Structure 1
Amino acid sequence: MDGLNTRRIVLLGKTGAGKSSLANTIFGEATFKINHFNDLKTHFCEAETKSVNGRSITLIDTPGFFDPGRSEEDMKPEMVRCITECAPGPHAFLIVLKVEKFTEQEKAVITKMCEYFSEDAFKYAAVVLTQGDQLPEGMTIEEFVNESEHMSDLVKKCGGRCHVVDNKYWKIKQQDEYRSNQFQVAELLNTIDKIVLENNGGYYTNEMLQTVEREIQKEEECIRLSSGNMTQEEIRQQAKSRVLEKHLNKAPRTWIRAFVGLAIIAGLLATVLKSTFMKVLTEVYHITPLATVVDEQIAKTARVSPPVSAIEKVVEVAITPVEAIQKTFDAVLNKLYD
């Protein structure tokens, strides 16, 4: 399948909203694993590409990014995976909700979406409600949405784009064409075509997605030089895997650097503060402590500068070795991770 003409679609929503089931409904087969037990540890970002109604589509199924109880730290690996999979950017976001009351949790999903992406993402978004069997007889999804002010506002933000499916009961052919997954998926794909058209054939992107895409392209060039008979799709997949691995490995490295760096600085500044305290004991209370290198530096500087300037200069002297140590530490880390 031609990657250039593939539509990248990200499914967003809390755990249990039916994202994975919706992805399977769109593909018409059980491609994505359904997480029946809401076990957050086993639910991770997945991406699959298939041809649907003559279109090449990549669906990116996200874990519960917006679930209460999931820490930012816990979600970082999955965010990195999602960004890598949809780089240089998704053509559409599907905000997945159930046909039920719009609660504070649903509001939190939208707030988080704006935090992770931006308000611009709504230009590329459509709302898809699952469990369509709960829709009252004879009622359209637009009528259901209009009964809730918050849900209505959300759909308006998404340009009025709203669809409904039922991943369980609408699999067989229904007498009412409207209550048919086949009909609704066709309508949804038409909506995605319109989203792409309205955005001049483009996709949602931001600085982070563009940076990741540049990294992927750089890896593609390296792989291509020694790829042999690899297809472009295989090269792309391997490049994404390499970039993902690099970004996932950066997390502990950054944490170690920050932790040790802070420890070094804290230790040296503690020495400076201790020495300043000793100086006060010596000059004000005439108590003579054991001489230290920093005490001598303060004493020398104090003769030609006011006390505050003296302390500032000693801190400056202390910070210089901190920078040197930090650079050495970075060099060691770079060697370890190269």
Structure 2
Amino acid sequence: MKKICQIHTESPVNLQRPKDVRLILLGLPGAGKSSSGNTILGSEQFRTGCDFLSVSREVVSKHAEVRGRRVTVVDTPGFGAEGFTPEQQFEQLRDAMIECAPGPHAFVLVIKIGRISEVDCKLLQLLSEVFDTDLKYVTLLFTHKDRLKGRSLQRLIETTPPLKELLQKCGGRYNVFNNEQRADVRQVQRLLHTVDLMHQENRRHYTLDMLAEKHALALSLSHSGKSSIGQEVMEFFSNVWEAIKQFFIQIFECIQAWLKRKGIVGNMEYKKMKNN
């Protein structure tokens, strides 16, 4: 398995580094997204907490100059965060893309070391379905490096099949943060270097249109109608976005079901919605 975090000094001579770097942080509640955002930007920009419950209740975008470049970080409520319906979670992901306009250079999936639970594994499997071939825009960020206590992160990866599989699909890209050691600027440099490599390989940032393309082909094969061309186009793209929305809602419903089954989150608002 290729380990990006071990080859940061081997930069391509002509590595193209975007002047503006845009990142969207994803993950379960309490994974350390907000703290990692603060570490990346070098200051307290996002509210943080010390328990499992998500502190972020809405999509928040912050930016700062980091080593001569403008870096934008979009923090999101955790997948399955308490009080949000699946439809609201889809809207938050859409809002994150808007806040990151014209699009992110990378989705950073934040995972807390020491809590690779069954729920985490299910999330990893679902994310593989969400991004599919677009996993080339995803990199993993492990937090709470201090919890390793000298143990091998590679060993943890090898003994967690869903994590290993997702990492392999992501090209082996991952970094490790200790958010209590923000003065160690090397960890941020390594993450940005990973993003630079991704940008050079992908040649462009991610866009909503790229997500739409996943559903457009399937819909185009079955789409037919006798309306005018203008109406057909509008109907077609309306169907595309509705398909995307329903796809993500199904994903979020599955995540919430797993969280509830494990007694981690009791989403009373969602229960009321389902009972109505």
TM-score interval, normalised by the smaller of the two chains: 0.5 to 0.7
TM-score (norm 2): 0.62
Q: Are the aligned partners of 2:128 and 2:166 in contact in 1 as well (CA < 8 Å)?
A: no
2:32 aligned residue: 18
1:149 has 2:161 as partner: yes
2:199 aligned residue: 196
1:205 maps to a residue whose letter is: T
Q: 1:128 aligned to 112, 116, 141, which one?
A: 141
Shift of 1:52: 1.0
2:188 aligned residue: 185
Distance 1:44 1:68, change over 3 A: closer
2:257 aligned residue: none
- Secondary structure (helix, strand or coil) at the match of 1:78 reads helix
Q: 2:210, 2:168 → 1: CA distance?
A: 27
Distance 1:210 1:47, change over 3 A: farther
Shift of 1:9: 0.6
1:306 aligned residue: none
1:21 maps to a residue whose letter is: S
1:67-114 CA-to-partner distances (Å, cap 9, x unmatched) read 477421332442332121123321101110011242221133234435
1:324 aligned residue: none
Distance 1:93 1:18, change over 3 A: same
Q: 1:206 aligned to 183, 186, 208, which one?
A: 208
Q: Are the aligned partners of 1:35 and 1:43 in contact in 2 as well (CA < 8 Å)?
A: no
1:31 aligned residue: 45
2:201 maps to a residue whose letter is: E
Which has the larger share of helix? 1
TM-score (norm 1): 0.52
Q: Are the aligned partners of 2:47 and 2:55 in contact in 1 as well (CA < 8 Å)?
A: no
1:61 has 2:64 as partner: no
1:5-61 CA-to-partner distances (Å, cap 9, x unmatched) read 411111110110000000001111111111446666961111112111222211111
1:198 maps to a residue whose letter is: E
Shift of 1:118: 2.3
Q: Are the aligned partners of 1:66 and 1:112 in contact in 2 as well (CA < 8 Å)?
A: no
Q: Are the aligned partners of 1:87 and 1:209 in contact in 2 as well (CA < 8 Å)?
A: no
Q: 1:98, 1:41 → 2: CA distance?
A: 15
2:73 maps to a residue whose letter is: L
Q: Are the aligned partners of 2:56 and 2:77 in contact in 1 as well (CA < 8 Å)?
A: no
Unpaired runs of 5+ residues, structure 2, are 1-17, 214-276
Shift of 1:148: 2.5
- Secondary structure (helix, strand or coil) at the match of 2:142 reads strand
1:196 maps to a residue whose letter is: H
2:209 maps to a residue whose letter is: E
Q: 1:87, 1:37 → 2: CA distance?
A: 31
The higher radius of gyration belongs to: 1
2:97 aligned residue: 83
Higher relative contact order (CA 8 A, sep 6+): 2
Q: 1:42, 1:103 → 2: CA distance?
A: 22
Q: 2:92, 2:78 → 1: CA distance?
A: 10
- Secondary structure (helix, strand or coil) at the match of 2:171 reads coil
1:7 aligned residue: 21
Q: Could you list the runs of 4 or more consecutive aligned residues of structure 1 that deviate by over 6 angstroms after TM superposition? A: 208-211
Q: Are the aligned partners of 1:40 and 1:64 in contact in 2 as well (CA < 8 Å)?
A: yes
Percent identity over paired residues: 33
1:126-169 CA-to-partner distances (Å, cap 9, x unmatched) read 111101101131x453344233222222211111111111112x
1:290-315 CA-to-partner distances (Å, cap 9, x unmatched) read xxxxxxxxxxxxxxxxxxxxxxxxxx
2:178 aligned residue: 166
Distance 1:48 1:68, change over 3 A: closer
Shift of 1:210: 8.2
